[in-house]
Amino acid sequence: MSHRFVAGEELDEALSAARFCNDQGMMASLDYLGENVTTTADAQHSRDAYLEVFDKIAAQRLNANVSCKLTALGLDLSTDFCEGLLLSIVERAAAGDNFLRVDMEGSDYTQRTIDLVKRVRSQSPAIGTVIQAYLYRSEKDIQDLLMFGCRIRLCKGAYKESPEVAFEKKSDVDGNYVRLVRMLLPSGFYHGIATHDPSMIGATIRAAAENKISKEDFEFQMLYGVRTDLQKRLVRGGYRVRVYIPYGKDWFPYFMRRLAERPANVGFFLRNFFR
């Protein structure tokens, strides 16, 4: 069942999925699944996996970058240790003229993620991160990251958060998303607008037109297996589209987030499970 959202357990399956996207005129971001590791050995194993992905992307000349989670690199164990691993991956990315995107996790990690990304960004431009429109703090975080010339992926946010830190109503999250898109597009840096929501996509296209931002100056990003029709339509319209392709054995938490954010997916899952 997880195959709907996850390319496979092995890197080769993710590389084939990336090749397929490239053939359809889309870029890819490969994510080696894993989070909240509890030993330094597991964090080093994740680091090795990310290094291997960059090497394979270069060897196979794929149009793809890489996404990673800091808790897969030991953020729960030690910030300094995590920073060392992160830096080595970003150096590998930079050596191949590529780019590492640090995913954003639950709000307990937001400040630490931003601090770490800023520190590494001051040494290499080959790193960017993600901002979640459901958090009240996101406007300030974007201002902060833009001061460092940081490339940002904007998404709505996928974790369960309390009303102390995050908007609860979809209309408030959407309203903030559009406000943040309007901050990002004219900033002069290349950002990723990650959503499958046609009204967010429409608002982005309108904001780009109003600010005379060309289609080459930003990209839309969508998840593997979600709204492939919309992905293709945007490509036909001349927009840059990147597909986020997760792979690896530790797919369960990612799969559960995809089920949780859309109740219809649970029905789909149950129907197929019993069949």
Ligand X SMILES: Cc1cc2nc3c(=O)[nH]c(=O)nc-3n(C[C@H](O)[C@H](O)[C@H](O)COP(=O)(O)OP(=O)(O)OC[C@H]3O[C@@H](n4cnc5c(N)ncnc54)[C@H](O)[C@@H]3O)c2cc1C
Residue 257 annotated in active site: no
Closer to ligand X by CB, 118 or 196: give it.
196
Residue 103 annotated in active site: yes
Question: Which of 47, 101, 121, 153 is labelled catalytic?
Answer: 153
Q: Give the Cα separation of 70 and 75 in Å (integer).
A: 6
User: Does the footprint of ligand X cover residue 246 (CB under 6 A)?
Assistant: no
Give min distance, CB of 212 to ligand X, in A.
25
**Interface residues for ligand X in 100-129 (CB under 6 A)?**
103-104
Closer to ligand X by CB, 59 or 217: give it.
217
Q: Give the Cα separation of 66 and 28 in Å (integer).
A: 8
Q: Give the Cα separation of 69 and 29 in Å (integer).
A: 13
Candidate residues 81, 136, 148, 159; the one interacting with ligand X per rule CB under 6 A: 159
Give min distance, CB of 83 to ligand X, in A.
19
Give min distance, CB of 214 to ligand X, in A.
21
Question: Which of 31, 76, 103, 141 is labelled catalytic?
Answer: 103
Give min distance, CB of 233 to ligand X, in A.
13
Closer to ligand X by CB, 17 or 222: give it.
222
**Interface residues for ligand X in 169-228 (CB under 6 A)?**
194-197, 200, 221-223, 226-227
Residues that bind ligand X (CB under 6 A): 103-104, 130, 132, 155-159, 194-197, 200, 221-223, 226-227, 244, 258, 261-262, 265
Active site residues: 103, 153
